[in-house]
Amino acid sequence: MVKKVLAKSYVYIILFLMYLPVFLLIVFSFTDSDSVGIWNGFTFKLYGDLFQNKELMQAVLNTLLVAFVSAIISTIIGTLGAIGAYYSRKRARKFLEGITQLPIVNAEIVMALSLAVLFVALSIPFTFFILVVGHVVLTVAFVYLSVKPRLVQMDPNIYEAALDLGATPRNALYRVVIPEILPGIISGFMLSLTLSLDDFVITQYLKEPSFETISTYIQKILAKHPVPPEVRALTTFIFLIAVIVVIVNNLTAKKKQKSFKMQEGSK
Amino acid sequence: MRFRFQRKYLAIPYLVFFLLFIIVPVFLIIYYAFTDRATGLPSISNLVNFFSDRTNVDVLVISLVFAMATTLICLLIGYPIAYILADKKYNKNAVIVTLFIMPMWINFIIRTGATRDLLTWIGLGGGTHPVFATLVGLVYNYLPFTILPLYSTMLKMDRSLIDASYDLGANPFQTFTKVIIPLTKPGIISACTMVFMPTISSYVISDLLSEYNIVLFGSYIDLYFNQSNWNFGSFMALIMLLLVGLSVLLTRKFDKSEDVRTSLW
Q: Which chain A residues have a beta carbon less than 8 Å from that of B247?
A: 105
**Alpha helical stretches, state H, B36-129:** 45-52, 54-86, 95-101, 108-121
| Tens digit of each residue's pLDDT (9 = 90 or more) over A64-94 | 999 999 999 999 999 999 999 998 999 999 9
Burial code (b: 16+ CB inside 10 Å, e: under 16) for B211-248 equals: bebbbbbbbbbbebbeeeebbbbbbbbbbbbebbeebb
Please judge whether A113 and B198 are an interchain contact, meaning their C-beta atoms are less than 8 angstroms apart. no
Per-residue DSSP letter, A226? S
Q: Cα–Cα distances in Å, from A28 out to A48, A153, A184, A212?
A: 15, 49, 39, 25
- Do A29 and B113 form a contact (C-beta atoms < 8 A)? no
Number of domains in chain A: 1
Taking the Cβ of residue B73 and every Cβ of chain A, the question of whether any pair is shorter than 8 Å is answered with no
Q: CB contacts < 8 Å between A and B, how many?
A: 254
For residues A45 and B88, which has the higher predicted lDDT (pLDDT)?
A: A45
- Residue B265 CA to residue B261 CA, distance in Å, equals 8
Q: At what angle do helices A54-86 and A90-105 cross, to 10 degrees?
A: 160
Enumerate residues 6+ apart whose C-beta is below 8 A from B82: B146, B147, B150, B151, B154, B187
Please judge whether A109 and B237 are an interchain contact, meaning their C-beta atoms are less than 8 angstroms apart. yes
Residue A195 lies in a domain: yes
Residue A258 CA from chain centroid, whole number = 26
Q: Which chain B residues have a beta carbon less than 8 Å from that of A82?
A: 14
Q: Which chain B residues have a beta carbon less than 8 Å from that of A87?
A: 6-8, 10
What pLDDT sits at residue A134?
96
Enumerate residues 6+ apart whose C-beta is below 8 A from B136: B115, B119, B124, B209
**Alpha helical stretches, state H, chain A:** 2-27, 45-52, 54-86, 90-105, 108-121, 128-153, 157-164, 169-172, 178-198, 201-206, 214-222, 229-266
Residue A264 lies in a domain: no
Q: Which chain B residues have a beta carbon less than 8 Å from that of A131?
A: none
- Residue A186 CA to residue B139 CA, distance in Å, equals 31
Residue A124 lies in a domain: yes
Taking the Cβ of residue A106 and every Cβ of chain B, the question of whether any pair is shorter than 8 Å is answered with yes
Domain that holds residue B223: 54-228+252-264
Please judge whether B18 and A102 are an interchain contact, meaning their C-beta atoms are less than 8 angstroms apart. yes
Which has the closest alpha carbon to A142: A184, A83, A205? A184
Taking the Cβ of residue B250 and every Cβ of chain A, the question of whether any pair is shorter than 8 Å is answered with no
- Do A201 and B225 form a contact (C-beta atoms < 8 A)? no
Per-residue DSSP letter, B228? T
* Average pLDDT of the residues of chain B: 87
Please judge whether A11 and B221 are an interchain contact, meaning their C-beta atoms are less than 8 angstroms apart. no
- Residue A157 CA to residue A164 CA, distance in Å, equals 10
Taking the Cβ of residue B25 and every Cβ of chain A, the question of whether any pair is shorter than 8 Å is answered with yes
- Residue A105 CA to residue B241 CA, distance in Å, equals 10
**Residue B119: HSE in the Cβ half-sphere, 13 Å Cα cutoff:** 25
Q: Which chain A residues have a beta carbon less than 8 Å from that of B148?
A: none
For residue A24, the SS3 value is helix
Taking the Cβ of residue B105 and every Cβ of chain A, the question of whether any pair is shorter than 8 Å is answered with yes
What pLDDT sits at residue A266?
43
Residue B14 lies in a domain: no
CATH number for the domain harbouring residue A204: 1.10.3720.10
Residue A259 lies in a domain: no
Q: Which chain A residues have a beta carbon less than 8 Å from that of B208?
A: 219, 222-223
Which has the closest alpha carbon to A26: A227, A244, A232? A232
CATH number for the domain harbouring residue B69: 1.10.3720.10
Enumerate residues 6+ apart whose C-beta is below 8 A from B13: A76, A77, A80, A81
pLDDT band at B113 (very low <50, low <70, confident <90, very high): very high
For residue A42, the SS3 value is strand
ipTM rounded to 2 decimals: 0.88
pLDDT band at B225 (very low <50, low <70, confident <90, very high): confident
Which residue in chain A has the smallest CA separation from B211?
Answer: A223
Q: Cα–Cα distances in Å, from A42 out to A19, A23, A24, A33, A239?
A: 22, 16, 14, 10, 20
Taking the Cβ of residue A247 and every Cβ of chain B, the question of whether any pair is shorter than 8 Å is answered with no
CB contact residues (below 8 A), chain A span 130-149, against chain B: 133, 136-137, 140, 142, 144-146
Which has the closest alpha carbon to B249: B197, B200, B203? B197
Number of domains in chain B: 1
Rg (C-alpha) for chain A, rounded Å, is: 23
Q: Which chain A residues have a beta carbon less than 8 Å from that of B198?
A: 107-108
Please judge whether B109 and A114 are an interchain contact, meaning their C-beta atoms are less than 8 angstroms apart. no
Please judge whether A110 and B200 are an interchain contact, meaning their C-beta atoms are less than 8 angstroms apart. no
What pLDDT sits at residue B258?
52
With residue B151 as reference, give the H or E element that holds it: helix B130-156
Q: List, for chain A, all residue ranges whose pLDDT scores fall below the cut of 70.
A: 254-267
Please judge whether B10 and A83 are an interchain contact, meaning their C-beta atoms are less than 8 angstroms apart. yes
Q: Is the pTM of this model over 0.95?
A: no
CB contact residues (below 8 A), chain B span 144-183, against chain A: none
| Tens digit of each residue's pLDDT (9 = 90 or more) over B207-220 | 999 988 898 998 88
Question: HEC string of A231-264?
Answer: HHHHHHHHHHHHHHHHHHHHHHHHHHHHHHHHHH
**Nearest-5° angle of CA A70, CA A76, CA A81?**
120
Angstroms from B130 CA to nearest CA on chain A:
15
Give me the residue from A18, A35, A246 closest to B98, CB to CB: A246
Q: Which of B117, B138, B249 to mutate to test the interface with A (most CBs of A within 10 A)?
A: B117
Domain that holds residue A158: 54-228
Angstroms from A114 CA to nearest CA on chain B:
5
Residue B13 lies in a domain: no
Which residue in chain A has the smallest CA separation from B122?
Answer: A37
- Do B154 and B161 form a contact (C-beta atoms < 8 A)? no
Residue B21 has pLDDT above 70, yes or no: yes
φ, ψ for residue A128 (rounded to 5)? -55, -40
Residue A260 CA from chain centroid, whole number = 26
- Residue A96 CA to residue B246 CA, distance in Å, equals 21
- Residue A130 CA to residue A119 CA, distance in Å, equals 8
| Tens digit of each residue's pLDDT (9 = 90 or more) over B226-256 | 887 888 889 999 999 998 888 888 776 655 5
Angstroms from B118 CA to nearest CA on chain A:
6
For residue B35, the SS3 value is strand
| Tens digit of each residue's pLDDT (9 = 90 or more) over B162-199 | 889 888 988 888 988 888 888 888 889 888 888 988 88
Q: Which chain B residues have a beta carbon less than 8 Å from that of A185?
A: none
Residue A68 lies in a domain: yes
